[in-house]
Chain A
């Protein structure tokens, strides 16, 4: 069964450093997403990406964040200057389109646990 993969599984970084989280979505999916989940809290939408551009982003997704699809398979999230409060689990997800503005449910990767010290 196709699955979303993410690397690394864990990342420890110093405050102020840049991190890049990587994802390989399911191959025939067209919609890509990043979420974060702070320990003990709910899953929070960060950004969606379609047709090589950002479709929607939340208030969390400020200028410190960027996304890129550098080739036909990878989808990355970059945090330019990490803060302590960026410590969280980051999930990538992908989905198919159904047309008419509807999508199928999203399939999530196993996540990258980011710890900022």
Chain B
């Protein structure tokens, strides 16, 4: 089983749609959880941290379920600029080791 697994995608949605990404992780010792976005041939950029029961930042909501070892990201009112690859990331051993999921590609169309 992969350490971090994500929906394979790609997701093709119209502007204004709501889209949800899922992620599962296998290591129960995982301590910190994040969502990043990566544009083509660019560096990953931190989107949100997910520390406990989840959090919201504008149109983005992240949820964490430690019992199920599951993380989600919800994007409301999708914009063209949201088109990117969304990466689920978990850290453990005090944040020293970080595992990236393979990413889910999102295309938002006008």
Contacts and interface: CB of A to CB of B under 8 A. Distances in A.
Interface of A: 31, 33, 35, 41-45, 48, 50, 55-56, 58, 89, 91, 95, 97, 101-111
A97 B95 contact: yes
Contact of A42 (B43, B97, B100): B100
Given A102-B32, A103-B91, A56 B44 contact: no
A27 B30 CA distance: 27
A55 B101 CA distance: 21
B97 A102 contact: no
Contact of A108 (B45, B51, B95, B102): B45
Interface of B: 31-32, 34, 36, 38, 41-46, 49, 51, 87, 89, 91, 93-103
A95 B95 contact: yes
Contact of B87 (A41, A43, A104): A43
A55 B51 contact: no
B43 A56 contact: no
Contacts of B38: 43
22 contacts: A31-B95, A31-B96, A35-B100, A42-B87, A43-B44, A48-B96, A55-B93, A55-B94, A55-B96, A56-B97, A91-B44, A101-B95, A103-B94, A105-B34, A105-B46, A105-B49, A105-B89, A106-B46, A106-B98, A108-B45, A109-B43, A111-B43
Contact of B95 (A41, A43, A89, A102): A102
